[in-house]
Amino acid sequence: MPLVTIEERLTEVEKKLASLLGQTVREPEHKIMPWWESISGTFANSPDYDEAMRLGKAYRESLRHVEQEESPPGK
């Protein structure tokens, strides 16, 4: 097994470091679109979506009425 001197090992490490430092971070060839932009408009003019939003709003308002009934007087 050949013995490697510290100087030889250091030279190899310096070469590898120089190689790594020489590499640049490349920009992707195409811009990556955020997921919310890719689905924007998916439910445009959808009666099912409108119905889901209406039902969700009605549900949240029903919870608000229950909370008001359960709160102690004077609040």
CA distances from 69 to 55, 65, 72, 73 (A): 21, 6, 8, 9
For 62, other C-beta atoms within 10 Å of its C-beta total 10
Digit-by-digit pLDDT tens for the chain (75 residues) are: 578 899 999 999 999 988 888 776 667 677 888 888 889 999 999 999 999 999 999 999 999 877 777 776 665
What is the model's pLDDT at position 25?
A: 66
- Is residue 15 a contact partner of residue 21, using CB atoms and an 8 Å limit? no
What is the model's pLDDT at position 3?
A: 80
What is the pTM for the complete model shown?
Answer: 0.42
CA dist 34 and 52 (Å) reads 24
As a whole number of angstroms, the longest Cα–Cα distance in the chain is: 88
User: What residue ranges do the domains of the chain occupy?
Assistant: 46-75
